[in-house]
Amino acid sequence: MSLPLFFLPDYDETIQHIELNEETSRHIVQVLRMKKDEELQLTNGKGALLNAIITDDHKKRTKVVVQKVQNFPLPTRKVSIAVSPLKNTNRFEWMLEKITEIGAGEIIPLICHRTEKQKLRMDRLHGIVTSALLQSHQVWLPQLYEPIPFQQLIENAKHQQKFIAHCIEDAKTSLADAVNSAVNSQIILIGPEGDFTSNEIGQALSHHFTPVTLGENRLRTETAAVVATTLLKIC
């Protein structure tokens, strides 16, 4: 059974004895009922994985001593998901959780012509992404961007493969067939409820985005983002 994993954003590799913050301490002592001399793991979300032992099980200031440190390299393939925020906040947050668990490297809220909700609580979203990282026992936290206008993104995306998934009946390639696992950076655009406009699709194509389909069924935005992330990670 794997050890419980906690987030340590300000990890200093020169310090062996660490006092954890109140939120983490409460979770360790009051929720998980962990005691002195029990072992746990910590990550800074930047590739470090620490094995540590509790030396003081105080519910507000738990202290641990680091026993072992492993540093994992950044994945060689960067998978970026640019997806429109949703009017339903719960659905958007669920999507963030799932694409983080699957292994998205970048998550970009994309403001499109038909995007209804353009202001996001970024502090809350960062917390959801962090929790999903710990739940899935990963050590590289995805980069979560502030919302970016559609035009700005397509003009500045430098990824080696660039895709746009849309629902307009037109010539499109299956994403599963289009993915080249040999390249090290890929991005896919997922539109809002109501899809991208024909003008947005045309602009993306003019900036060398490949139109793709995610399958035969018409998917909700959040489902499309989960399917796209999965295909980019496994193909």
pTM, to two decimals = 0.93
DSSP 16-47: -EEEPPHHHHHIIIIIS---TT-EEEEE-SBS
Q: How far is CA 158 from the centre of its chain?
A: 19
The helix or strand, by DSSP H or E, that contains position 117, with its residue range, turns out to be none
Q: Which two tokens stand for residue 30?
A: 């009051």
| pLDDT for position 206 | 97
Domains and CATH numbers, the chain: 5-71 (2.40.240.20), 78-234 (3.40.1280.10)
Which pLDDT belongs to residue 55?
A: 98
Residue 72: predicted pLDDT: 97
> Taking the chain (235 residues) in consecutive chunks of 10 residues, what is each chunk's mean pLDDT?
91 94 96 97 97 97 97 94 96 98 98 94 97 97 97 97 91 92 96 95 97 92 97 92
Rounded Cα distance between 141 and 54, Å, is: 24
- Residue-level pLDDT at 1: 63
pLDDT computed for residue 216 by the predictor: 87
